[in-house]
Amino acid sequence: MLRNKSFVKRTRKGNVVRTVKEHYLRDDIVCGLESCQHATCAQARSDAAQAAPLSATPRDSTTWGPHYLLPDTNALVNQIDIFERPIINDVVVLSTVLDELRALSIATYNRVRAI
């Protein structure tokens, strides 16, 4: 899916320039939740023999309720030992965080990829 955002702006010299920003949204990537009822997700689960990577019932706590973890780069660099424990599950690591980890610390990047 492609979304365009176009606008007109004036340069320092006074010229008018039309700027177009394109934003691509992929609809062929599934969310990974077992409980998702979207047609694309259901089709991918039926085609693949493997289970969804995120559980249908995430870990529940009395304070926060059911949740998934989305760590940032600093959390992974400074607290990688905690994320390696078997009690921590349902963690979503964003690709931008992985890219930053690779640039900062290749050892931590390899440990995250091994989890």
> Where do the DSSP E strands lie in 37-94?
none
**Predicted confidence (pLDDT) at residue 16 exceeds the cutoff of 90:** yes
Question: For 18-64, how does the pLDDT look when each residue is reduced to its tens digit (9 = 90+)?
Answer: 988 887 777 666 777 777 777 777 777 676 655 566 666 676 766 66
pTM of the model as a whole: 0.56
**The pLDDT value given to residue 27:** 67
- Identity of the residue numbered 37: Q
Provide, rounded to the nearest whole percent, the portion of the chain with pLDDT above 70. 76
- Axis-axis angle for helices 106-114, 95-104 (nearest 10): 140
d(CA 87, CA 52): 18
